[in-house]
Amino acid sequence: MELVKPPIWTLNGVPVQEGVDVEMEKEGTMHRLTFKKTKASMTGPVQFTAGKSKSLAQLTVKGKASSLSNGLQNVSVVCGEDAVFACEVTQASFTVKWAKDGKAIRTSKKYEISQQEKLMKLTIHTVSAEDSGEYSCEVVGGATTRAKLEIKGKDEMYTLYDLSFYICSHSGARRQCRLQLCLWRPKDHSQPQDQG
């Protein structure tokens, strides 16, 4: 009487053993092999042998780091302006998901999501203080890149000066006028001193 050998799974020619990260199942005539954890070095042929029958497939494990060429950079803009995040993926066919503080972002009047070949962009229109936070772009099945958005108040970039002066007419009448000047300055720039 000929004994029937149990089916064998191999990866790169090496028998696969069932364990914590490897699961083997059988449902009727169907056999299933599941790898719960994978790494790039596991790429190779997977073969199933049951008696004289054999089935061969190719396992390809892609590294997450290869899905991004350039990650997001921190952005700092003045309140009321538009903010733009951009990152570059390695393949134009990749699909990405944008999120703010872990919550998914979808196209709306506030958010504009666009793609130019491998360049992925998120534009946030007319930003306000509540738009500050951490933004992320996740390549589906790949890596995730994150960056922060800082919103600057307009008072940090501009200073308003009040100037008063008099206009004298030929008749000797004096008229007081007031002029307001809005001057750009760096955030840490000191205001000019009154010379009297």
Alpha-carbon radius of gyration of the chain: 32
> Do 51 and 16 lie in a common domain?
yes
Whether residue 146 lies inside any domain: the answer is yes
Whether residue 138 lies inside any domain: the answer is yes
If one compares 72 and 191, the residue with the highest pLDDT of the two is 72
pLDDT on residue 94: 86
> Do 85 and 137 lie in a common domain?
yes
The model's pLDDT over 34-57, given as tens digits with 9 standing for 90+, comes to 988 887 678 889 999 988 888 999
Whether residue 192 lies inside any domain: the answer is no
**Spatial CA neighbour of 135 closest among 169, 62, 171, 85:** 85
Classify residue 93 as left (phi > 0), alpha (psi -120 to 50) or beta: alpha
Question: Token digits for 157?
Answer: 């970039």
Whether residue 189 lies inside any domain: the answer is no
Whether residue 144 lies inside any domain: the answer is yes
Report whether pLDDT(179) > 60.
no
> Do 102 and 91 lie in a common domain?
yes
Report whether pLDDT(121) > 70.
yes
Range of the domain at 25: 8-59
Report whether pLDDT(126) > 50.
yes
> Do 72 and 53 lie in a common domain?
no
Report whether pLDDT(154) > 80.
no
Q: How confident is the model at residue 61 (pLDDT cuts 50, 70, 90)?
A: confident
3 state SS of 121: strand
Whether residue 120 lies inside any domain: the answer is yes
**What average pLDDT does the segment 147-174 reach?**
63
**What average pLDDT does the segment 3-22 reach?**
87
> Do 81 and 104 lie in a common domain?
yes
Q: How confident is the model at residue 26 (pLDDT cuts 50, 70, 90)?
A: confident
Question: Token digits for 139?
Answer: 């390549």
Number of domains in the chain: 3
Assign residue 145 the CATH number of its domain. 2.60.40.10
3 state SS of 55: strand
Give CA separation, 49 vs 26, 31, 42, 58, 87, in Å: 14, 10, 19, 15, 45
Distance in angstroms (rounded) separating the CA atoms of residues 66 and 119: 15
Quote the pTM value.
0.50
Whether residue 148 lies inside any domain: the answer is yes
> Do 91 and 37 lie in a common domain?
no
If you average pLDDT over every residue of the chain, what do you get? 81
> Do 172 and 128 lie in a common domain?
no
